[in-house]
């Protein structure tokens, strides 16, 4: 009986570590489930920015800072200052539910953010758009998706991607959003426009997925847990199928898009796996028991 092994980070949102380690370890393990490296989800992330009309911030919202500037808020933003769960109706059809939140991206956004709608990113219109960067409001919708990402089996020599240049890497993932995923994005886009384009306050510009397929801050799945051996690498206790004692509890274990920030779910799934990890350790003769003292008040 092999000693119980634990793979992953219970609090990290990354999906990469579990999947990459498993793929690199496949020869030593005598093979791994076919579902490893498949069914990747970007948590349905849909990044947009709103090009805010400074004059409308003052006239419509009646806002300004002591220095008289109405907004110019992106450079002084915070990670998340506002969010809404109003679109997470459990009775609504699938792919129509999502969460919206304001996010903060630094100045790299004026390099990465290729808007879907004109003006396009290059030439004079693009330059003019970037010149208003301080008046952008960056936004994130977390939607339902189809887990359509797939990682190749040929891995980089080190890490999870090949670095081509500073700030530029080549990964192994293929991601082609399905019509259902795109439909969820479209519904989130419409909600953002209804909120932010009212009274001409701003113009919402979703980022184009044509460059990288998707932009996500919450990579999950790719070594996910589930009921079916054909579509899930892990059992319902986070144990790798066919490999007793090997557990994965990072973001790669999350089965599908959550439509919310995933860190607490990842932590909860790690806690859920702990009794099974303890049992395997006991079977291997490791003196361990499940349970921990309650935190001090």
Q: What is the pLDDT of residues 62-105, one digit of tens each?
A: 999 999 999 998 877 778 889 999 999 999 999 999 999 998 87
Distance CA 199, CA 183 (A): 26
Instruction: Check if the beta carbon of residue 45 is closer than 8 Å to that of residue 140.
Output: yes
Q: According to the model, what pLDDT value does residue 81 have?
A: 86
How much is the average pLDDT of 183-190?
96
Q: How confident is the model at residue 296 (pLDDT cuts 50, 70, 90)?
A: confident
β 83-84/45-52 pair status: unpaired
Q: According to the model, what pLDDT value does residue 109 have?
A: 59
Give the up-direction half-sphere exposure of residue 282: CA atoms within 13 A in the CB hemisphere.
9
Please name which of 60, 99, 259 lies closest in space to residue 191, comparing C-alpha atoms: 99
Query: Is 148 a residue whose pLDDT tops 90?
Result: yes
Instruction: Check if the beta carbon of residue 64 is closer than 8 Å to that of residue 70.
Output: yes
DSSP letter (8 states) at residue 76: G
Q: Tell me how long the chain is.
A: 297
For 5, the token pair is 């092994």
């Amino acid at each position: 009986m092999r000693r119980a092994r634990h793979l992953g980070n219970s609090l990290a949102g990354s999906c990469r570590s579990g999947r990459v380690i498993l793929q690199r370890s496949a020869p030593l393990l005598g093979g791994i489930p076919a579902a490893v490296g498949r069914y990747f989800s970007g948590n349905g992330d849909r990044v947009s920015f709103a090009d805010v009309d400074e004059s409308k911030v003052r006239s419509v919202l009646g806002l300004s800072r002591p220095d008289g500037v109405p907004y110019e808020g992106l450079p002084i933003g915070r990670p998340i200052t506002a969010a809404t769960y109003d679109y997470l109706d459990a009775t609504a059809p699938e792919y129509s539910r999502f969460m919206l939140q304001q996010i903060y991206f630094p100045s790299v956004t004026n390099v990465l953010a290729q808007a879907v709608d004109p003006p396009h990113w290059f030439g004079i219109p693009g330059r003019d758009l970037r010149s208003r960067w301080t008046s952008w409001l960056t936004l994130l919708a977390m939607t339902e998706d189809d887990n359509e990402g797939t990682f190749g089996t040929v891995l980089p020599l080190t890490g999870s991607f090949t670095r081509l240049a500073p700030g530029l890497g080549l990964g192994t993932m293929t991601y082609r959003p399905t019509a259902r995923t795109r439909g969820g994005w479209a519904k989130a886009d419409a909600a953002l426009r209804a909120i932010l384009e009212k009274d001409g306050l701003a113009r919402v510009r979703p980022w184009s997925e044509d460059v990288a397929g998707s932009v996500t801050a919450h990579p999950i799945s790719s070594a996910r847990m589930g009921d079916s051996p054909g579509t899930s690498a892990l059992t319902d206790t986070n144990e790798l199928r066919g490999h007793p004692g090997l557990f994965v509890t990072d973001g790669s274990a999350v089965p599908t898009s959550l439509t919310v920030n995933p860190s607490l779910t990842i932590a909860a799934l790690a806690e859920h796996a702990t009794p099974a990890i303890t049992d395997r350790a006991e079977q291997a003769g490791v003196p361990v028991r499940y349970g921990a003292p309650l935190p001090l008040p």
